[in-house]
Structures are given as C-alpha cells and as structure tokens.
Amino acid sequence: MAPVLAVNMKIYLDIDGVLVGRGRKPAPYVVEFLKKATENHDCHWATTHCKGDTVPVMDYIKGILPVEAIEYCKLIKAIEWSHKKTEIFDYESDFLWFEDAPFEFEKEVLAQHDKSDSLVLVDLINNPNHLRELIKLI
C-alpha cells in the first residue's frame, strides 16, 4: 500500500540540533526540509529562541541559515510558553515535534496525552544528513 502523506499537520520545530548543527552550521538539507514543512504543514517554533515573539529567533538564524531557508522560516509561527515545550502543542491535532534533546518531563506530558509517537528525535551528531531521511515524514 502506498504511504498516505499527511498534509496540514502541525509541526513544531526546535532549532539547535535540528535545523542548526554542530559549530552553528546549517543542518544539511535544511532548505529542502523547511520548504516541504512550510508548504505542506502548519509550522510553529518550539525553541528557547522563541517564546511568543519571532524577532529573537529570526535574528538568531539570520546569521546561520542560508537566505532561502530564512524565507521559509518567516512562515513559522510563534507560540508563547514558559517552562516546557509541551505547553506549545495542540493535543487535539495530529502533530510532529522535531527535537534533538527532549526532557524526560516533556516526554511524560506527551505520553499522558497519548502523543509519544509525535516526537521525532533528530540526531545530527550521529547522522549529519538526518533531515534528508526525515523529509519523508512530512
């Protein structure tokens, strides 16, 4: 059976360790990944660089990601949160959370909502081209 591509999921994106790799270098395939994510889905930031305001996050990535990626990043929305990234998520919707280092307490909240499968662990350290594989999920 052909895989059914879910369109218009909510996608929550961390930056460091997900879009930006070691040495503050853009993750390989970040442009392709962001293009597909923002064209097909409803994307939101889930990063400490953004707590309800996109100005700090755009300032941060401006010096790191290529111009084409920045254009897609402009389509990513900000949501206010305080302590846990899990405050950001819409548990009534299908969503994916791209994150390299979730806290245990965040994983527990996902489990409580029966959303453990929504966590997509990104590992650019062991798999620098990880985004190339993960594009298939979106």
User: Rounded to whole angstroms, how far apart are CA atoms 73 and 63?
Assistant: 13
**Beta carbon nearer to Mg ion, 16 or 42:** 16
Interface with Mg ion, residue 49, by CB under 5 A? no
Interface with Mg ion, residue 14, by CB under 5 A? yes
Select from 9-17, 64-72, 113-121, 122-130 the region that touches Mg ion (CB under 5 A): 9-17
**Beta carbon nearer to Mg ion, 109 or 124:** 124
Region of residue 23 (phi > 0: left; psi between -120 and 50: alpha; otherwise: beta): left
CA dihedral 76, 61, 70, 93 (to 10 degrees): -20
Pick from 37, 64, 69, 100 the residue near Mg ion by CB under 5 A.
Answer: 100
Q: 122 exposed, middle or buried (CB, 10 Å; 0-12, 13-18, 19+)?
A: buried
Select from 21-29, 78-86, 96-104, 130-138 the region that touches Mg ion (CB under 5 A): 96-104
Residues that bind Mg ion (CB under 5 A): 14, 16-17, 100
